[in-house]
Structure 1
Amino acid sequence: MDTVIIIPARYASTRYPGKPLVELEDASGTRKSLIQRSWEAASAVNGVSAVYVATDDARIRAAAEGFGAKVIMTSEDCDNGTARCADAIARADLKPDLVVNLQGDSPLTPAWFVEDLIEAMAARPDAQMATPVLRCDAETYAHFREDRLAGRVGGTTAVFDTAHKALYFSKEVIPYIDPAKAATDYGAVYHHVGLYAYRPKALARYVTWPQGRLEGLEGLEQLRFLEHDVPVLCVEVEGRGRVFWELNNPEDVPRIERVLKSMT
Structure 2
Amino acid sequence: MKTVIIIPARYASSRYPGKPLVTLDQGDGTRKSLIQMTWEAAQGIMGVDGVYVATDDDRIGAASAGFGAEVLMTSDTCRNGTERVAEAAAQVKADVYVNLQGDAPLTPPWFLDALIAAMKDGADMATPVLRCDAQTYANFVEDRRAGRVGGTTAVFDGAWNALYFSKEVIPFLPPKSQDTPPVYHHVGVYAYTPSALRAYMAWEEGPLERLEGLEQLRFLENGHKVRCVEVDGRGRVFWELNNPEDVPRIEAVLRGDA
The TM-score with structure 1 as length reference comes to: 0.96
Note the C-alpha offset of 1:89. 1.0
Q: How many residues align?
A: 258
| 8 Å contact from structure 1 (residues 108, 246) kept in 2 | yes
SS at match of 2:11: coil
1:235 paired residue number: 229
1:96 aligns with 2:94: yes
| 8 Å contact from structure 2 (residues 134, 179) kept in 1 | no
| 8 Å contact from structure 1 (residues 177, 185) kept in 2 | no
**Partner Cα separation in structure 2 for residue 221 and residue 65 of structure 1:** 27
1:217 paired residue number: 211
Note the C-alpha offset of 1:185. 5.4
**Partner Cα separation in structure 2 for residue 243 and residue 185 of structure 1:** 17
**Partner Cα separation in structure 1 for residue 196 and residue 118 of structure 2:** 16
Structure 2 matches for 1:138-177, cutoff 5 A?
A: 138-177=134-173
1:144-172 CA-to-partner distances (Å, cap 9, x unmatched) read: 00000000000000000110000000000
2:76 paired residue number: 76
SS at match of 2:126: strand
| 8 Å contact from structure 1 (residues 106, 247) kept in 2 | yes
**Partner Cα separation in structure 2 for residue 208 and residue 145 of structure 1:** 36
Aligned structure 1 segments of 4 or more residues deviating by more than 4 angstroms? none
Structure 2 matches for 1:1-264, cutoff 5 A?
A: 1-90=1-90, 92=91, 94-123=92-121, 125=122, 127-181=123-177, 184=178, 186-264=180-258
1:13-58 CA-to-partner distances (Å, cap 9, x unmatched) read: 0000000000011121110000000101111111100000000000
**Partner Cα separation in structure 1 for residue 176 and residue 110 of structure 2:** 34
SS at match of 2:191: strand
Letter in 1 for 2:171: P
Letter in 1 for 2:99: N
Note the C-alpha offset of 1:131. 0.1
**Partner Cα separation in structure 2 for residue 185 and residue 85 of structure 1:** 38
Note the C-alpha offset of 1:187. 2.7
Note the C-alpha offset of 1:121. 1.3
Letter in 2 for 1:176: F
| 8 Å contact from structure 1 (residues 128, 230) kept in 2 | no
Note the C-alpha offset of 1:186. 4.3
**Partner Cα separation in structure 2 for residue 149 and residue 105 of structure 1:** 22
SS at match of 1:107: coil
Alpha-carbon RMSD = 0.8
| 8 Å contact from structure 1 (residues 177, 186) kept in 2 | no
Segments of structure 1 that go 5 or more residues without pairing to the other structure are none
1:112-140 CA-to-partner distances (Å, cap 9, x unmatched) read: 000110011111x2x21000000000110
1:56-93 CA-to-partner distances (Å, cap 9, x unmatched) read: 00000010000000000000000000000000111x1x
